[in-house]
Every structure is written in C-alpha cells, then in structure tokens.
Amino acid sequence: MKDIIHSKFTDLFGEGGVFYASAGRINLIGEHTDYNGGYVFPGAIDKGIMTEIKLNGTSKVRLFAIDRDEYAEFSLDEDILPGQHWPRYIYGVCRETAKRGGKVAGFDAVFAGDVPLGAGLSSSAALESCFAYAINDLMDNGLDLFTLARIGQSTEHNYCGVKCGIMDQFASCFGKAGQLIRLNCKTLEYQYFPFNPVGYKLVLLDTCVKHMLADSAYNKRRESCERAAAAIKQNHPEVDFLSDSKRVWLDEVRGKITEEDFIRAEYVIGEVQRVLDVCDALERGDYETVGELMYQTHFGLSRLYEVSCPELDFLARLARKMDVTGSRVMGGGFGGCTINLVKDELYDQFVAAASAKFREEFGHDLKVYDVVISDGARKL
Ligand code: GLA
C-alpha cells in the first residue's frame, strides 16, 4: 500500500511527503453504550488508512483517494462543504481542529485503506483519526489524543450527519498492538487489557450487507435513549446518562415513555453491566462466560435494540448451533459483521460451514477476517 501511495503522491505532488497511518476497530462487547455514558471494550485492528502528506504553502487542501481513484480539493478560507462524500471527513477534521485552537494550513495528501467499507469496522473513524493525527503532528499543535478523537467524532456529528459516540475514534487513536481497551465513556477513564486468548480465536464474518438509512436509524436509537434517561432523571436527578440508571428506575417510568423507548433503554442498561462482567471473566480466563455474554448482547441488539438483520441473526444462530463460544453483531448494526469467539479446534469447521450455508441461504458470499489487535494512529 505504501508503494502505491508513494508513486501516486510523487506523480501528483512531487517529493517530500510524510507517512501516517490509523486503524479500524473491533469491539469485544459494549455496543451502543458509548453515547449513553457506559463502557466499551474495543481494540484497533491491522486494517486501516495510510496517507502520505505534505504542507503545500497555500490555503488549499488537495486530496487523492487511491481506492476510489478520485481527486478532490477544498479551500480552508471558505465554508463550502465538498460535493463528494469522502472529502467531507477531511474537511470536517480541518474545521474541528481549528475550532479547538489548532493551526491548519493547506496540504497535499494521497491516501488508501484496507478497512472494508460498511462492515462495521469504522473505516470513517480510521480516516478521521489518520488526518487528525497527521495535521496535529505536521502543524505542531500539541493536541492530546482525546482531543484528536473528539475532532473525529465532531466531524461525524457536524459534517456527516451521524450522532455517534466516542468509541470508534477513541479506539483508532489509542489502539495498541495486542491490547483491548476498556473505556468509561462518561469519565473517559480507560484501561488496557492484554488480549491473548489461549485456545481461542476471534474471527469476523462480514455479511457484506449494509442497510440503507442506517445513519438515521442510529440517530433515532440515540434519541430514544435520551428520552428514557430524561424521564428517569425526573425521579432520580443524578441520572445524566442511561448508564447512571438502575434497571428498577427504568421500570418506574414504564408508563411514561413509549414501549419502544423502554426496550431500547432496557437493552442499554443490560449491556453496560455485561461489559463489566466480561472484564471480570477475562481476568479469570473464563472465556465460556465471555462468549455467553456475547450471545446475550446479540439477543439484545436483535430483539430489543433492533439493529440486527436476517443475515446477522442467521450467522449468530448458526454459531450457537455449532457450539461456537460467543457470537454477536458488532458495531452500529444494520448489516456488517458478526464477531465470533471460536475454539481453535472448531475454527476451520465453523468458518467453512458458515461460508457454505450463508451462500446457500442468501445467494452471495460472506467475507472472513481474522482479528489481529494492532496499533492505532501513528507516524510511520
Ligand atoms: C458506531 C458508532 C459508535 C458506537 C457503535 C455502537 O460504530 O460510531 O460510536 O455507538 O456504533 O456501539
């Protein structure tokens, strides 16, 4: 990838570029908890975005995306949102850096990536973090990693229409090889956990489906949670986020909120606790419990939070039938991957059966990605 980027860069912009990279992410457990002030448990992966970039002495940003074979440019002087979708991520990062007091000058960049798009592996966070990190470094802005993650998150909110939480950009900025990170999204305290499950593998099965309107459905889930938290707060003023609520406090407001908001909140309160239970189980080396909790998350995401789809449910059900230790939809949902915790000796058989049965059922192939927990944003 580096060679391809470099050869295009020299063609378009000459010599003197510097390389930066960032990563997509997985999440072991803790889904849709980030914007509810709960815990998440992600790690960066060995698939990401790489760019060669240099300052160009103007106020223009000139970009080339290798994977799309497309050029785009925008000016830092004018507030004109780029027409194509992909440059908006970089446009947003420039604007959000400036809002936080960072300097931004014109630059030329060529980038490429190997995070599968729409698979729930946060290709957009990888792109944002890569450029947030690069600009911070090139301009000597000295913004800390949390600020860089916030720059990516605000880019999604303000320029891409997704009211996401902090998990993806956090993982992409803070990721370390071999380590998962448990983040408390309310206090922003975090802890690295070495992840090296002896006798098990983590594998992603990508349904290769991405449902339309996923972004607006995502935002609606968030609104449900905020309404439920506001109702609970009337009885319990200490509740700022759903993660602050006890399950019984949710029951108290059952008649006051819609049944839909109720079941969304029911899922979130359960999921916040499951992350803690998974961490305890990991410390005991109890992978069977970790897996069982993953199945519970899948059930919640499918039946209560309603962000699954037939393809994902099919894969999780098949995993259960084949005695796979744990399986669930990963990321925002509405398509994308399941994440599976599989015993070494079952791995080949499971992947082969899932691939064959999936094709039989849905008429197209799934994709298989082995999970390698890797470093996040960095200069190369
Ligand atoms: C998407 C969002 C994250 C998070 C997950 C669900 O990936 O970007 O902030 O909410 O969905 O856990």
Please, what CATH class does the domain formed by 2-193 belong to? alpha beta
Each residue's pLDDT tens digit, 71-101? 999 999 999 999 999 999 999 999 999 999 9
DSSP string, 92-133: HHHHHHHHTT-----EEEEEEE-SPTTSSS-HHHHHHHHHHH
pLDDT at site 196? 86
Among 89, 167, 329, which is best to mutate for testing ligand 1, by the most ligand atoms less than 8 A from CB? 167
- Among 247, 198, 47, 208, CA closest to 130: 47
pLDDT at site 336? 96
* Gap between the Cα atoms of 315 and 210, Å rounded: 15
- Written as six digits, the tokens of 52 are 């060669």
- pLDDT below 50 — which residues of the chain? none
- Written as six digits, the tokens of 174 are 């803070």
Is 17's C-beta closer than 6 angstroms to any atom of ligand 1?
Answer: no
Is 31's C-beta closer than 6 angstroms to any atom of ligand 1?
Answer: yes
Is 168's C-beta closer than 6 angstroms to any atom of ligand 1?
Answer: yes
Q: Pairing between strand 335-343 and 107-113?
A: unpaired
Is 37's C-beta closer than 6 angstroms to any atom of ligand 1?
Answer: no
* Gap between the Cα atoms of 221 and 344, Å rounded: 36
Domain with CATH 3.30.70.890 in the chain: 200-371
Domain with CATH 3.30.230.10 in the chain: 2-193
pLDDT at site 204? 98
Q: Where are any strands of DSSP class E within 135-252? A: 179-184, 190-194, 200-210
Is 167's C-beta closer than 6 angstroms to any atom of ligand 1?
Answer: yes
Among 41, 122, 168, 170, which is best to mutate for testing ligand 1, by the most ligand atoms less than 8 A from CB? 168
pLDDT at site 215? 84
Ligand 1 atom with minimal separation from the 34 CA: 10
200-371 CATH choice from 3.30.9.10, 3.40.50.740, 2.40.160.20, 3.30.70.890: 3.30.70.890
pTM score: 0.96
Ligand 1 atom with minimal separation from the 125 CA: 8
Ligand 1 atom with minimal separation from the 162 CA: 8
